[in-house]
Amino acid sequence: MELGGREAHHLLEVLRARVGDSLTVFDGRGQEGRATVVQTAKGWVRLHLEESWPARKETPQPITLYVALLKGDHLSEVVRAATELGASRVVPLLTQHCVVRELSENKLLRLRRIALEAAKQCERSLIPEVAPVLPLKDIPAVEQGFVAHPRVSQRVRDAYDPEKPTALLTGPEGGLSESEIGLLEQRGFTPVTLGPRILRAETAPLALLSLVTAAEGL
């Protein structure tokens, strides 16, 4: 197994790995293992994989987080924390009331780098996919979905089934329109409460994700 580029730099210059060191490694697709550093050079590392096993740090079923485009750098904050909380996939959404209307290729690549770095930091074995922007009207039907809504009383814990793939969705600073909520209900999403207080658009996706992963010990 050979590493180069950013990964080799991180291993050699940040972690100060040397020949003979034992490391925990992961492939980003659900496998992790133990490897030994056997050779190094400038910008390059060779590892010997001693053993590997299926990871036990991922949720029983994948969790997709749909989050509306947000102002400033808030989407980066959401991707970083969502990775720590166990999201399998993050999909930026374009909705009716989004102030931000696009996501550049450079920003998308940066979000993917943030997901990678966060996955390494929290020792996940899967790197969450960060998808290109999706218009809300094109969202697919889901087997189990929850959308944050400030005017309902339904709670996630009363409806969540950890054995089903799950989709979670939150709106932008201006919220989701009633027609958008109606469309999401048609696609399989259940409106749920995040409590009696109105949360900021960058707080809501993490609160909703936490109700599924942290609250369920996933």
pLDDT digits (tens, 9 = 90+) for 175-190: 999 999 999 999 999 9
Distance CA 43, CA 10 (A): 9
Where is pLDDT greater, at 7 or 168?
A: 168
Q: What is the pTM of this model?
A: 0.82
Provide the pLDDT for residue 148: 98
- Hey, which of 3-12, 18-27, 80-89, 121-130 has the most confident mean pLDDT? 80-89
Domain 63-212 sits in which CATH superfamily? SPOUT methyltransferase, trefoil knot domain (3.40.1280.10)
Q: Which of 6-10, 33-37, 69-73, 123-127 has the lowest mean pLDDT?
A: 6-10
Residue 5's region, left for phi above 0, alpha for psi from -120 to 50, else beta, is: left
Provide the pLDDT for residue 95: 98
For the chain, the domains span: 2-54, 63-212
Structure tokens at 71: 């102002």
Distance CA 67, CA 79 (A): 9
Same fold, 2-54 and 63-212: no
Structure tokens at 111: 């979000």
DSSP codes, the chain: -EEEHHHHHIIIIIS---TT-EEEEE-BBSEEEEEEEEEEETTEEEEEEEEEEE-SSS-SS-EEEEEE--STTHHHHHHHHHHHHT-SEEEEEE-TT-S-----HHHHHHHHHHHHHHHHHTT-SBPPEEPPPEEGGGPPP-SSEEEE-TT----GGGT--TTS-EEEEE--TT---HHHHHHHHHTTEEEE---SSPPPTTTHHHHHHHHHTTTTT-
pLDDT digits (tens, 9 = 90+) for 53-98: 776 778 999 999 999 999 999 999 999 999 999 999 999 999 999 9
CATH classification code of 2-54 = 2.40.240.20
Q: CA end-to-end span of the chain, whole Å?
A: 31
Tell how strand 22-26 and strand 89-94 pair up. Answer: unpaired
